[in-house]
Amino acid sequence: MKKYLGIDLGTSSLKVVVVNQRGEIVNSSTIHYDVIIRNEGWVEQNPDQWLKALKEALTDLKKLDSQILKEINAISVTGQMHGIVPVDEFGNALHHAIIWSDRRNEQELAALQTELTNEEWVAITGNRPNISFTLGKILWFKNHEPELYVKTDKFLLPKDYLRMQLTGIAETDYSDASATLLLDIRTLKWSEKIMNLFHLKRSKLPEIKSSISFSGSITRISAETLGLKEGTPVICGCGDAQAQALGNGIIHPKDWLCTVGTSGQLFVSTDRLAMEKSGKLHTLVHADPGKWVLMGATLSAGMSFKWLAESIFDSQLEIKELLALASTASAGSKNLLFLPYLFGERSPYMDEKAKGTFIGFTNEHTKSEMSRAVVEGVLFSLYQSFKIVEETIGQKCKYLLLTGGGAQHDLWVKSAADIFNVPVVRNNSRGGGAYGAAMLAAVGAGDFNTLSQVAEKWGLYQHEMVYYPDSALHEKYEKLYQVYVRAYDSLKEIFHGLHDC
């Protein structure tokens, strides 16, 4: 039976899955690695770590089946978005990767905001400037490392760098390109206006392809290094948000996805280009050709809970124990609110200076209420995006699929149903973004006609568990939410004052 290899280059780990033609995961491996923080706000990774992790993960696969890598029919790659790796003409990295959470380009971000209004940025790229986006990182290299900028042959996104090591070819796909602030969202070409405005060379950007397009084949060198079969087709791939959606069958407009992982996303597929004019949401290209994405994001979702457990409660309780403790608090956490802006915030504020905040402490609050308030605060943030999506596309959500680490605990799922006031579906984990990459490999290899066909054949539309909202609890949450949405505006000047100190 044919097999497909999906590779997911994440922020904290690299995951590989081997999926057969029935959609069953035959084997998988996850290898963790660290980020490098050289200065405050500077967040990097060594691309050599990624290659080492890939080699280790593939070695793990061979331990259970020595021939498995030789039986792979096609490969595809997904990975963390917005980051950048400058490479020379031979594909060698000239600098550590600057990843999505890096904040060094604040001056460049200010320049972007000065040159065009938010509405003008959205009209061209579908997005407004944000500290995470790739364009600001390229401009940082241009301004602060001019010699390196000149030497750079191509600026590659993380997953594209990894794929280049497999094939020797520098390319990207429309989904990842749409999150750089460089792609014209209507023509699906690198924007000449933006390139000219900031005096960037078009030659330093890779060619763009569909996510299901053939990108190249495993080279002799990568075959010898990694144990893969020389000549195995490598399919272009997509950004990790889109791959996560694919791996959960989010292809049609009726399907809405909420991911609660390290960060959080509200992801909706559309058949037509739809944009929130002021840029409160991200408009991206879907991995499925001819489709688009409206996405809201909160930067610290599960990370907020991890922060509470490890930094505030000093790891006195494991995360599972803390979630159990949070479940003992009543819904609404006795009117304690948490704003999850530990790394600034994306949707709807796009404000890198926003700060995490508890509001409403009294002597009645305990660890239980604090823990539950973090869960509810993260979901309130995603609920903001949910409501803006409904307004933007003029369509109500029928049900919401919750995935990521948060979906593994009833408190997150039940609270989401009560806050969003829609049925929330939880499916068994299929392997996340790596599984979505395997789907791209299956279609790109020509074994399936469409991604929808793969999703149907592989059983992604079969829901394992549905949680229904409690109308009384939703009414209670809605009152708290109305206070929550006013909190940012009331505190914005204070956040910015603290940041500028």
Q: Which residues are catalytic?
A: 240
Residue 477 near residue 332 (C-beta atoms within 8 A): yes
Q: Is the peptide bond before 348 cis (omega within 30 degrees of 0)?
A: yes
Task: Enter the DSSP assignment of 308.
Answer: I
Angle 26-28-34 (CA atoms, 0-180°, nearest 5)? 170
d(Cα 335, Cα 361) in Å, to the nearest integer? 8
d(Cα 23, Cα 448) in Å, to the nearest integer? 12
d(Cα 347, Cα 295) in Å, to the nearest integer? 9
Both structure tokens of 252 = 């049609």
Cβ-based neighbour number of residue 40 at 10 Å:
7
Residue 476 near residue 46 (C-beta atoms within 8 A): no
Q: Is 14 helix (H, G, I), strand (E, B) or coil?
A: strand
User: What amino acid is encoded at 280 in this protein?
Assistant: K
Residue 334 near residue 364 (C-beta atoms within 8 A): yes
Residues in CB range of 419: below 8 A, 6 or more apart:
376, 379, 380, 383, 474, 477, 481
Residue 125 near residue 118 (C-beta atoms within 8 A): no
Residue 85 near residue 148 (C-beta atoms within 8 A): no
Residue 79 near residue 16 (C-beta atoms within 8 A): no
| DSSP codes of every residue in 390-428 | HHHHT---S-EEEESGGGGSHHHHHHHHHHHTS-EEE--
d(Cα 264, Cα 198) in Å, to the nearest integer? 31
Strand ranges in 159-262 using DSSP code E only, listed in sequence order: 171-173, 183-184, 189-190, 207-209, 214-217, 233-239, 256-260
Is the Cα dihedral 264, 268, 269, 271 positive or negative?
Answer: negative
β-pair partners for 339:
357
Find the length of the chain: 501
Residues in CB range of 490: below 8 A, 6 or more apart:
none
The CA-atom distances, in angstroms, between 359 and each of 226, 248, 373, 385 are: 51, 35, 10, 21
What SS3 string covers 88-106? CCCCCECCCEECCCCCCCH
